[in-house]
Amino acid sequence: MSIDEPFYPLTHKLGRKLREAKLTAAEWRLWSYLVELDPYGEKYLDFDSQTVMQKCDISKTTLWRSMCKLQELGLFDFQDKGFHFKNEMGVSKMKQPFQKRNEDFKNETEDFKNETAISKMKPEISKMKSSEAETPAQQGSQNPSEIKIYKDFTDSLSEGGEREKFFKFVKEKIREFNPPINDLEAWLASQTKTGNYNFRVYYAMFQKEVKKESPPSQDFTNHPQLQEWLEACRENPAMFVNRGGPREERPLRLEFKEWAESTKRLWGELET
């Protein structure tokens, strides 16, 4: 019997080792891709990190974390051959807000906390939000990066009506805006005056409503992947919940995210 296509022999020992390692979906993708590049392990090979991130659909942070995991398990040996680096806190950056992203997420957290008060002040909050909303002319001048970021977000929404429920929630919230929002998705993809994306602000509010209906019941303090999940959740909460692992794991990840928020662990306000 001849096999025309290249293949990788998976031994019982290696298969058992991989199962017992409880690899994340990202770690599985990285492992399988590297095995394709180097099935024999006879010599060191070079790879381009940008290519690997694209092929495995993972971020830079996840790539390094996954490499460390595979190194610790003895599955691969990664040798450092130097790095490119840039000082993100250099003198030229002194005048810029150096924690803009963290502040954006903290704004979302504040939206969570203030939702009860918002519901009692609809006329006032509608006026306030409409002043922050972009004009129709501005809505039509999106740049490609905004469109891609928004598309990644909508693609990450789980099946089973979450997308429809989210849009229904947003439409209700902006119903009294003056001037009205003519292109809902273009407006959601645009940024507020503070630099945050409208879809992130309203998705945070939407998840607060979902949380009220189904409060978290688990304590994840001793979860074996606590730190890893916290980092992934901080990087992109929606992606962590909806695309961070197998579909059947989504309810657990959503519960973890809600637990991390309610215990103030998500943004590091409480020591883990």
Residues β-bridged to residue 191: 197
> Phi/psi of residue 100, each to 5°?
-60, -45
Residue 196 in any domain: the answer is: yes
Residues 133 and 199 in one domain: yes
Residue 268 in any domain: the answer is: no
The string of pLDDT tens digits covering residues 222-269 is 889 899 999 888 888 888 888 788 888 888 888 888 888 888 787 765
Q: What is the CA radius of gyration of the chain?
A: 22
The string of pLDDT tens digits covering residues 100-134 is 555 555 555 555 455 544 444 445 444 444 444 44
pTM reported for the whole predicted model: 0.33
The string of pLDDT tens digits covering residues 158-217 is 666 788 888 999 999 999 998 899 899 889 988 888 888 899 999 888 888 876 665 556
**Can you give the pLDDT at residue 234?**
86
Residue ending a domain, choose from 203, 234, 251: 203
What amino acid occupies position 25? A
Task: Place 93 in a pLDDT band, splitting at 50, 70 and 90.
Answer: low
Domain boundaries, position 143: 120-203
Residue ending a domain, choose from 153, 180, 203: 203
Residue 59 in any domain: the answer is: yes
